[in-house]
Structure 1
Amino acid sequence: MSAHLPDDRDAVREALIAWYETDHREFPWRRTDDPYRILVSEVMSQQTQLSRVEEAYADFLDRWPAVADLAATERGAVVSFWSGHSLGYNNRAKYLHEAATQVVDEYDGEFPTDPEKLQELMGVGPYTANAVASFAFDNGDAVVDTNVKRVLHRAFGVPDDDDAFEAAASDLMPDGESRVWNNAIMELGGVACGQSPRCDEAGCPWRRWCRAYETGDFTAPDVPEQPSFEGSRRQFRGKVVRALGNHDELTLDELGPRIRVDYAPDGDGEGSEDWLRGLVGDLADDGLVEVTETEEGTAVRLRR
């Protein structure tokens, strides 16, 4: 599989950002640009369900509302809090406390603003540093986590290779907009393009470009088993698109037999002309095909 990013990058970017800004999950760390609070949320979120993180995050900041407060407390108190809230490995609590101490002692209480400098803080790796730089300072690179990899692999055929993911993510991210972009693409992976995709239900803004949506093949690096789609609507959507890709235009009478051997235009239910019209109508609504009435009948072609 080779990556195939759309030519119209601006349209892809605008669609995703508009989708995110219209409606997205509300988390408290999305309502702040305080690097300390964002760092706390990022460390807590490592392999921990977000529903549990929300409660722990609020309790943590009630107790230590600023980086100086955390640095001034005993490390044991932080570890005890971490364990008491079931936040996973206690080393994360130790590293978070040490990072707070570094910010106070080495940076006069001010966080570094770029990913490279942020990585000098204890326990802050490339991903966390980039997330803090993005969400606190709008100064990060494209974030690439499991959700982002899944989206890029499915939508644009980016191969399961870290360098390829980094390159594609960087290519797509608009300059100077790391905060909104990284939030938006991670939201897409978390809400619409999870291991079990919810493309239509979540109103995925990339359906018109997405290869997985076109073909019905939703495998991904973290989804090794291909979901069953034999005989599904998604499978026939893909067959329609592939058939039209080989012809400039097809009437429904020509298209039907090409996508299923049991096509019966006068029948009822699946395989009938009414069923095919509904299938083609969905593709037209998604901007993938154009439907026109001609002397030969209803004609369908790929949207150019």
Structure 2
Amino acid sequence: MTDDATTERGPFPGGQSLPEDVGEVRSALVEWYEADHRSFPWRETTDPYEILVSEIMSQQTQLSRVETAWGAFLDRWPSTEALATADRSAVVSFWSDHSLGYNNRARYLHEAAQQVEDEYDGEFPTRPDELQELQGVGPYTGNAVASFAFNTGNAVVDTNVKRVLYRMFDVEDDDSQFEAAAAALMPDGESRVWNNAIMELGGVACEKTPSCDAAGCPWREWCHAYGTGDFTAPDVPTQPSFEGSRRQFRGRVIRVLGEHDELELDELGPRIRVDYAPEGKHGREWLRDLLGDLADDDLVEIDEGSTTPTVSLQS
């Protein structure tokens, strides 16, 4: 990548400016990334479906777990056409079996595939705002797919990028300022390599505990934090504990129902928690509340029947 605008300056909202040698800053990062970066299979493709699957799976899920699940998912449903015609309960069960977080994401991904097939004749839209029309695709995911599949995205701003900009340019901890700084820094028409590179920088060099020298950070000579020794960073929201959480029990319900056509409430309860007691604190009332949430999300069906209610996965 070449950029000879060595005197370019672009003010950020808080008054900070791009360095005068912005072209050198940009080139240093891209050269660092292209010389050596973590290898993930979704970085080796420009297929929008494969990238969308990786982005949905990666939401608050360890990348090591995503790698295994991503390949298995695509082996089973290699295209939007295959996924769109799949049984939803099979997709949700896969999601739960691979501990990929909220099962709603599986449902949204299934519905997004149906949209691509039914509304876009099997062809993905290419712009971030168009991609956001797909079920479950928000601004970040739409922009990521546009960037990595089509090179038509805007500057990505995730937790890693915020940390980089905060330390590098002393950008105030404010979303609008982070977005403006990221947009001003990204070279036009380079969203694919640029967004990969700056996220990689935040992931391997400018981590919560930075490893500037060990990772060979290419921005040390311009970095405000490196120069001052102040490596504070914006607060990062922490994920609530999974163990014993409502998310955990929702996942167990999906896994158990994936193994059975249907179960009565008092058959299901002991299979998802050992302390289940029909009339106890974690009994039928608790289970019905949990199942109500899943039913609202179109993940399970509750058949009240004539005697004992039964539960099954939504087909």
TM-score, normalised by the number of residues in structure 1: 0.72
Distance in 1 separating the partners of 2:100 and 2:20:
43
1:91-170 counterparts in 2 under 5 A? 91-170=104-183
The answer to whether the 8 A contact 1:142-1:166 is kept is yes
Q: Deviations over 1:244-281 (max 9, x none)?
A: xxxxxxxxxxxxxxxxxxxxxxxxxxxxxxxxxxxxxx
Partner letter of residue 165 of structure 2?
Answer: L
The answer to whether the 8 A contact 2:159-2:236 is kept is no
Partner letter of residue 101 of structure 1?
Answer: Q
Where does residue 82 of structure 1 map in the other structure? 95
1:243-282 counterparts in 2 under 5 A? none
Partner letter of residue 196 of structure 2?
Answer: N
Partner letter of residue 43 of structure 2?
Answer: R
Residue 3 of structure 1, CA deviation: 2.9
Where does residue 189 of structure 2 map in the other structure? 176
Aligned length: 224
Where does residue 189 of structure 1 map in the other structure? 202
Partner letter of residue 69 of structure 1?
Answer: A
Distance in 2 separating the partners of 1:8 and 1:199:
21
Where does residue 47 of structure 2 map in the other structure? 34
Larger Rg: 1
Q: Deviations over 1:27-52 (max 9, x none)?
A: 00000000000000000000000011
**2:31 alignment partner, one of 15, 18, 35:** 18
Q: Runs of 5+ in structure 1 lacking a partner? A: 225-304
Where does residue 238 of structure 1 map in the other structure? none
TM-score, normalised by the number of residues in structure 2: 0.70
Q: Runs of 5+ in structure 2 lacking a partner? A: 1-13, 238-315
Distance in 2 separating the partners of 1:209 and 1:24:
21
Distance in 2 separating the partners of 1:223 and 1:65:
35
Where does residue 292 of structure 2 map in the other structure? none
Q: The residue matched to 2:53 in structure 1 has which SS?
A: helix
Where does residue 44 of structure 1 map in the other structure? 57
Partner letter of residue 111 of structure 2?
Answer: E
Residue 7 of structure 1, CA deviation: 1.5
Distance in 1 separating the partners of 2:234 and 2:17:
17
Q: Deviations over 1:57-90 (max 9, x none)?
A: 0110110111110001011111000000000000
Residue 130 of structure 1, CA deviation: 0.2
Runs of 4+ in 1 over 2 A off after TM superposition: 1-5
The answer to whether the 8 A contact 1:78-1:93 is kept is yes
Residue 4 of structure 1, CA deviation: 4.0
CA RMSD of aligned residues (A): 1.2
Distance in 2 separating the partners of 1:56 and 1:222:
30
Distance in 2 separating the partners of 1:117 and 1:40:
17
Distance in 2 separating the partners of 1:56 and 1:208:
39
Partner letter of residue 124 of structure 1?
Answer: V
Distance in 1 separating the partners of 2:76 and 2:236:
39
Q: Does 1:62 align with 2:90?
A: no
Q: Deviations over 1:106-136 (max 9, x none)?
A: 0000000000110000000000000000000
- Larger relative contact order, structure 1 or 2 (CA cutoff 8 Å, min sep 6): 2
The answer to whether the 8 A contact 2:80-2:113 is kept is yes
